Structure 1
Amino acid sequence: MTTALHTAQEFTFSRTFDAPRQLVWDAFTQAEHLAHWWGPKGCDIEVAALDVRPGGQFHYCMRLPNGAAMWGKFLYREIDAPGRIVFTNGFADEAGNLIRSPFHTAWPLEVLNIWTFDEADGKTTLTLRGAPINASEEEHAIFVAHFDSMRGGFGGTMEQLAAYLALLGG
């Protein structure tokens, strides 16, 4: 099965890590690793469920410094270890049902994410491409309007991943 984004308004983000691809893949697909780096800076992550296979899910809670909790969910579509992972993600409730974003009522319910893991000379470049699916024109516009914010958020998350990989010796 091939999954492609069907919009010219996709979000892209890339970061190179001083770590082998398998280690970066493991950090991205294993609960014991995800809990150490996934999510915005300053948040604690609780992994409620993780089943990395087509049809599986990652359901998690982000606990903010002020004590508030936000839930998220990935639904995996494609897994091509250790080179590519495709999933939809969105905000969720504690039971795993998709819900509207707490920060904007017109944020898309689902975003299709394609992550690639490319290794060269012992370093791994992790690249994200993402775009809303099943979204209205307004939801697409809100998504595009938040590109700078998403770059900042993913930048912080990837800084946490880099620090975590360094602790693992990668």
Structure 2
Amino acid sequence: MSQHNIFREQELIITRTFKAPKNLVFKAWSEAERLEQWWGPKGFSLLVEHLEFHPEDVFHYCIQSPDDLKMWGKFVYKTIEPNTKIVFLNSFTDENANTIRAPFSETWPLEMYNKLTFEETNGNTTIQLHISPYNASEAEVNTFGENHENMEIGFTGTFDRLEDYLLKN
């Protein structure tokens, strides 16, 4: 992955600490049956269409809103270091895993670079998620930058769901 394709000037960094060991937090990100219990906005359900957790493999999923709106997406894994780091490209897709435009914006980046790190201290795990536009046009980079607050709100809800899941497991 070429460094020049990642637009770090618009990078969004989200950090969250969970009361759980990092091996459990890592499993929550890497196993289909665990992802189905928490990935996506509050009130949404998740269908894992396909998950192969290896570099260059794919997590293809559908999130569904309470009013039956469906949105498909995928992660293409680039780097996996167990209990330490996951790097993946994320995009919206159709049901066949073909990358498509986001349903809410014609200028949303087609792909986003994500680096997720895990660090444990005294039984608590801090994750840090770095998200940047990848192979994006200037308009896409700007749209991404203008939507940091919305993304932070969305990830707060998703990470609240992860926290609830971890407390039960």
Unpaired runs of at least 5, structure 1: none
Does structure 2 retain, via aligned residues, the 8 Å contact 1:112–1:130?
A: yes
Shift of 1:68: 1.3
Question: What's the counterpart of residue 37 of structure 1?
Answer: 38
CA distance in 2, matches of 1:42, 1:137: 33
Question: What's the counterpart of residue 50 of structure 1?
Answer: 51
Question: What's the counterpart of residue 65 of structure 1?
Answer: 66
Root-mean-square deviation (CA), in Å?
1.4
Question: What's the counterpart of residue 104 of structure 2?
Answer: 103
Matched positions, count: 168
Shift of 1:7: 2.1
Question: What's the counterpart of residue 130 of structure 1?
Answer: 131
Unpaired runs of at least 5, structure 2: none
Shift of 1:116: 0.2
Structure 1 vs Structure 2: percent identity of aligned residues?
44
Q: Secondary structure at the match of 1:37?
A: coil
Q: Which one-letter code corresponds to 1:86 in the other structure?
A: V
In structure 2, relative to structure 1, the CA distance for the partners of 1:109 and 1:127 (3 Å cut) is: same
CA distance in 2, matches of 1:98, 1:64: 20
In structure 2, relative to structure 1, the CA distance for the partners of 1:3 and 1:39 (3 Å cut) is: farther
Does structure 2 retain, via aligned residues, the 8 Å contact 1:71–1:92?
A: yes
Q: Secondary structure at the match of 2:53?
A: coil
Shift of 1:58: 0.4
Question: What's the counterpart of residue 161 of structure 2?
Answer: 160
| Offset from partner CA, 1:115-156 (integer Å, 9 cap, x none) | 000101000001100101110000000000000000000000
Does structure 2 retain, via aligned residues, the 8 Å contact 1:19–1:124?
A: yes
CA distance in 2, matches of 1:2, 1:124: 30
Does structure 1 retain, via aligned residues, the 8 Å contact 2:41–2:157?
A: yes
Question: What's the counterpart of residue 143 of structure 2?
Answer: 142
Answer yes or no: is 1:85 the counterpart of 2:93: no
CA distance in 1, matches of 2:3, 2:142: 22
Shift of 1:2: 9.2
| Offset from partner CA, 1:5-47 (integer Å, 9 cap, x none) | 4522101101000000000000110001000000111110000
Q: TM-score, normalised by structure 1?
A: 0.96
CA distance in 2, matches of 1:38, 1:56: 18
Does structure 2 retain, via aligned residues, the 8 Å contact 1:52–1:76?
A: yes
Does structure 2 retain, via aligned residues, the 8 Å contact 1:3–1:86?
A: no
Does structure 1 retain, via aligned residues, the 8 Å contact 2:7–2:141?
A: no
In structure 2, relative to structure 1, the CA distance for the partners of 1:20 and 1:3 (3 Å cut) is: farther
Q: Secondary structure at the match of 1:112?
A: strand
